[in-house]
Chain A
Amino acid sequence: MSKLKDLFDRKQSGVLNVYCTAGYPGAESTMEVMEALQENGADIIELGMPYSDPLADGPVIQASSSIALLNGMSISRLFEQLAEMKDRIYIPVILMGYMNPVLQYGFERFCSDAARAGISGLILPDLPGYEFEHEYGAVVSKYGLDFIFLVTPETSEERIRKLDQLSSGFLYAVSSSSTTGSDKQMEDVSRYLQRLKGYGLKNPVLVGFGIKDRQSFETAGKYANGAIIGSAYIKALEGADDVRTSTKSFLDSILVKQTD
C-alpha cells in the first residue's frame, strides 16, 4: 500500500510536508536532514534534486541547489546516500526535481531506483500532463510510485479535475501563482482553497508556496489537508552549525505541541 495513502487515511488535517534540498547544506547532509525532519514532526519529506536551471523555484531554493551542485550532488550520488533510507526513514519521502537530469539518468532507471530506495512518489513540475499520459505515466505506475501534479489559482476547474485524475498521493495546490517563497495575502489563498474543497477531488490537497510560519500553516490547514514548507526551512538551515538543532527549533515554531 502507498505510504502516502496510508498517511492520509490516518490523518486528514494538519499534514506537514517539508522540502529539503539533497546535498544541502553539506554534501552528506541528506540523511541527517531527513532524520531531523522525521524526529521533529514532519509527516512527509519532499526531497529536492538540485538542478542548474530550476524554473519553478524561487531564489532561496535555487541558491540551495547551486550549493548542493557545488557540493557534488547528482542523482547517482543521491541514490547512494539513500541506500539506508528504508531502515531509517519511515515517513513518506517524495522526490522533487526537473525533467532534464531525470531524462539523462534514464526515466525508467530513475523510477526503478527510486522505488528500490523506498521513495513514495514524484513531483516533476516541468513534466506536462500530455507527456505524462502518453509516455511517462505508465512507467511511474509500473514501479508503484505516486505522482503529484501542481494546480494554481489560475488553473481552470476542468483542468484541476483532470490533474486530480492523473495524480495519486495528493494534489499540490500552489497558493499563489508565483515561484516559491513570496509573500502573499492568505485571504486570497483561502478563497482559492475553499473552491478546491468544493470540487470534491479524489486526492487530499496540500498547499505550498508562501507557507512560512505557524500562522500561514494553520490558515492553510483550515481548507486543505495540510501544507508544504520549502523556502522558510531552507533559510533556517542557512549557515546552521547543527542541522538537528536548527530543524528542531524551526519545526517547533511551526507545530503546536501536543502539550500546549
Chain B
Amino acid sequence: MQGNSSFRLPTAQGYYGDFGGAYIPEMLYPNVEELQLRYLEILDEPGFQRAFRDLLRDYVGRPTPLYFAKRLSQRFQTNIYLKREDLCHTGAHKINNTIGQILLAQRLGKQRIIAETGAGQHGVATATVCALMGLSCIVYMGEKDIERQAPNVARMRMLGAKVIPATSGSKTLKDATNEAIRDWINNPTDTHYIIGSVVGPHPYPDMVARLQSVISEETRWQLKEKTGSELPTHVVACVGGGSNAAGAFYHFLDEPGVELVAVEAAGLGINSGMTAATTALGRPGILHGSKSLLMQTDDGQVVEPHSISAGLDYPGIGPLHANLFKSGRGKFLSATDEEAIRSAFEVAKLEGIIPALETAHAFAAIDQLSLTESDQVVICLSGRGDKDLATYMKQMDMTGS
C-alpha cells in the first residue's frame, strides 16, 4: 500500500501514501467499481473534454480572473493574487466539479442524481447542473445547516431539487454524507452520487481533484502573464474536505518550490472541543469510504466537529491532503471562527469583495506566514459571502461596525 512519487496521482487502488482506498460495504461495490473502471477513460474522452471546457467557459464563466489585490498586498507588505472562484456561476468553485460529474453521469446512463451539502454551495451547484441537463436531483443536508444556510436551501428548491434533512448525529455535513451514501445503497442502478469534495472512496478524491484542477491550470498561465513566472511562492486555500485546495494546489503539487498552505477551521480554538481542525487533532481512521486523518475519540467514534462555516464543518480531510500533511509537502494552519469573521470584514473593506466564511479562513492565515515583499502569494477565493450575510449581519449588530 505504498504511495508513488507524485503527490498528485494515487495508486491504482486509490492510495496517496498511506491514505485513500475504497473502504465500502459490498452494497456499494458495483457503483464504485463502475466509476473506478471508467472515470479516467471518460474524463480523457475528447467529446467529454470538449463539452466540459465549453460549459466551463460559456456557462460557468471561466477562466475566472486572477486579480492582484493591491490594498491587501500593501496591508501585508507582499504580493497577493486572488483566484476569483467566487465569480463562478452559483458563487463558488463547487460547480467545476458538478459540471464534470453530470457529464460523466450522462455517459454512465444515470437518470437520478444525489448529493450531500454542507454550506449549500455544492447542493446549489448540483441542483444547477441537474436543471441544466434535466435530471432529477436529491440533496441531503444536515438539519442544522438547513437552518444556518437558508438562502442556499431556497435556491436549491427553486432549481427543482428536493432537499432532504439529515437528522442523525451532529446534523451537519458528515451526517448528510452518510444519508447520501445510504440513498446510493438503496438505489444501486439508476443513481449517480456527486460527491462535492475530494473525500469518499476511490476514485472520488482523484476524480474531484482532476475536475477542480482547472483552478491551478489557469493560475499558472495567468500568473505568467502578470509576473513572467508560472510559479508563485505560496498558494493558500481553506480546507474542509479540501476540494478548492486540491484544485488550487493541483498543478503545483509536484513543484517543490511552491509552498502549499491549507487552512483549517479551528472553530472556537483547537483545544476548545469545538473545532474542525482535523490535522491538528486527527488520527488515521476510516470515514465515508477512505482512510485518512479523522477527528475521533479513543474508541474510534467520529467526533462531531464545529466551525462557524458550514462548509468546513467536517471531521475528516481528503486523503490527498492527509498525505500532504504527513509528508510535510503541505503546511497546515488553522483560523478560529472569530479570526475568520475579522478577515472577512477586512477583505470586504480593503478590496470590495465579501468572501464566503469558508474562504475567510484562508485570509485569516496570512498573518501566520512570514511573507516578504518579493513573495507572490495566490489565495484561492473559493466562494462569495452572500450566503453568509445573516452571520455577518449578526456580527455587525454585535459590534456596531
1/0 contact trace for B82-107 toward A, CB 8 Å? 00000000000000000000000000
B188 within 8 A of A: yes
B286 within 8 Å of A (CB atoms): yes
Give the distance in Å from the alpha carbon of A102 to the alpha carbon of B13 in the complex: 22
**Residues of B with C-beta under 8 A to A128:** 21-24, 29
Smallest CB–CB gap between B300 and chain A, Å? 3
Indicate if the CB atoms of A56 and B27 lie closer than 8 Å.
yes
Residue numbers in B under 8 Å from A102 (CB-CB): 300
Q: How many cross-chain pairs have Cβ atoms below 8 Å apart between A and B?
A: 112
Instruction: Give the shortest distance, in Å, between A55 (CB) and chain B (any CB).
Output: 5
- In the complex, whether A6 has a CB less than 8 A from a CB of chain B is no
| Interface pair B299/A179, CB less than 8 Å apart | no
Within 8 A of A (CB), among B348-382: none
Instruction: Check A53–B302 contact: CB distance below 8 A.
Output: yes
* B186 partner, pick from A74, A98, A179, beta carbons under 8 A: A179
Also in contact, A155 and B30, with CB within 8 A (given A104-B296, A177-B185): yes
Q: A7 an interface residue at 8 Å Cβ cutoff?
A: no
A124 to B284: give the CA distance in the assembly, Å: 18
Q: How far is the CA of A72 from the CA of B325 in the complex (A)?
A: 33
- Asked if A131 contacts B21 (CB within 8 A), the reply is yes
Once the chains are docked, how many angstroms separate the CA of A131 from the CA of B286? 13
Asked, given contacts A100-B302, A177-B185, whether A53 binds B1 with beta carbons under 8 Å apart, the answer is no
| Contact with A152, one of B26, B174, B299 (Cβ below 8 angstroms) | B26
Contact check, B284 vs A103: say whether CB atoms are below 8 A apart.
yes
Cβ–Cβ contact B301 & A182, under 8 A: no
- Given A101-B300, A103-B300; A55-B25 close (CB under 8 Å): yes
- Chain A residues within 8 Å of chain B by Cβ, number: 43
Residues of A within 8 A of B23 (CB): 99, 126-128, 131
CB <8 Å contact, A104 and B298: yes
Q: Report B-chain residues with C-beta under 8 Å of the C-beta of A60.
A: none
Given A128-B21, A130-B13, A177-B188, also A150-B26 (CB < 8 A): yes
Q: How far is the CA of A207 from the CA of B126 in the complex (A)?
A: 37
Interface residues of A in 120-172 (CB under 8 A from B): 125-128, 130-131, 134-135, 149-152, 154-156, 159, 163
Measured CA separation A61–B174 after assembly (Å): 18
List, sorted by A's number, 15 A–B pairs whose CB atoms are closer than 8 Å.
Answer: A53-B178, A53-B288, A55-B288, A58-B182, A75-B299, A100-B285, A100-B286, A102-B300, A128-B29, A154-B188, A155-B30, A159-B29, A163-B26, A179-B27, A179-B185
